[in-house]
Structure 1
């Protein structure tokens, strides 16, 4: 394993894949995040490079069995970007050569920004939604949690 990690190159590669709607051939060691912190650092840089407004948050590995099965103590988080949020009836373009999964979700609209203490009165409304999951990286089941986080938790779009 390489001792160096190139955060900028990792984020730029993911941003290029997001824009092109394509998958790179692989993830080299120097651009593969090795820790959750590196994964979130790449995700932060990716979001900045894409330049889209963040309109919400997504939770990945939300069930206790899912995050514990991945060796984690809590779920992982990604962002919902404005051009990737769709209303019912809109067409959603998905990558042609990538694996795509559609997940039924509960979408919460918050009444205000949440702080460190979350209470039920923060929820303004709840809705049925769908997340279209598709990684910009090949073999999303084997890339590891830090790379999944870097790839905005493999979220492609939400409806």
Structure 2
């Protein structure tokens, strides 16, 4: 495993890249023996620095939970990162492209917890029972590590490539809609680009929430009431640029729009 000084230095590199919208060389190219535990340690140091600077944690993102995303990235297991209050937008938002690097978006569902959720042995049913409501969401990806050749170690270190999220206005309790069959039609500038259904996330998007609760148990932590959990994308990432207008249609769960400026 990497030494504490190396972990701290890499976390500072990523913090600088976040401030300047820069892209740094792959961590695994420089430290080929780095482990997944190392990557979460780097992310943890970065997270703590952000909290110390006054940012407030509002939830977690889960990534790489669908075959579409795993095939798109060449990474075959889920990961997770943290989300801060200043990264949350509402439908209709104008989002400055200059705040991000390698800007892409994904179609997801967000689970808002009514009560704490923890492992071990957390099940799909446990995750649904702990959920207050579900809303449609777009995730804005923000990658500060070069994309070519990256591994899950690089992605996790970079806060699982999370940049921001755009939340829809339609709220549903888990018993009000069959979450497996929530559709996603993703449009850029009026042209349809991606489609999918939420079952693409581990056969049920709430399984991602249960997976995260069990993963947290290994670190002596749990998901807390009120947290927003992005359950993972059920479409491939879509590249966006300044001036692009995005619309995501979730059928019975409404639509999300945003514009990149």
Superposition TM-score tier, normalisation by shorter sequence:
0.7 to 0.9
Aligned residues: 153
Q: 1:53-91 deviations in whole A, cap 9, x for unaligned?
A: 21011111112675596344xx21111111111122232
More divergent stretch after superposition (122-131 vs 58-67): 58-67
> Normalization by structure 2: what TM-score?
0.52
Corresponding residue for residue 155 of structure 1: 162
CA–CA distance in structure 2, aligned partners of residues 33 and 43 of structure 1: 17
Corresponding residue for residue 136 of structure 1: 144
Q: Greater strand share, 1 or 2?
A: 2
Equivalences for 1:103-122 in 2 at 5 Å?
Answer: 103-116=106-119, 117-118=122-123, 119=126, 120-122=128-130
> Normalization by structure 1: what TM-score?
0.83
Corresponding residue for residue 70 of structure 1: 75
Deviation at 1:147, TM superposition (A): 1.1
Bigger-Rg structure (1/2): 2
Equivalences for 1:15-54 in 2 at 5 Å?
Answer: 15-24=15-24, 26-27=25-26, 29-30=29-30, 34-51=34-51, 52-54=55-57
Q: 1:124-158 deviations in whole A, cap 9, x for unaligned?
A: 1111110001201122x522111100100001111
Gaps of 5+ in 2: 167-261
CA–CA distance in structure 2, aligned partners of residues 16 and 99 of structure 1: 16
Which 4+ residue blocks in structure 1 deviate beyond 3 angstroms? 27-33, 64-69, 95-98
* Residue 105 to residue 65, structure 1, CA distance change in 2 (3 Å): closer
Asked whether the 8 Å contact 1:33–1:146 carries over to 2, the reply is no
* Residue 91 to residue 33, structure 1, CA distance change in 2 (3 Å): farther
Cα RMSD for the two superposed structures: 2.6
Q: Is the partner of 1:34 in helix, strand or coil? A: coil
Asked whether the 8 Å contact 1:32–1:147 carries over to 2, the reply is no
Q: Is the partner of 1:136 in helix, strand or coil? A: coil
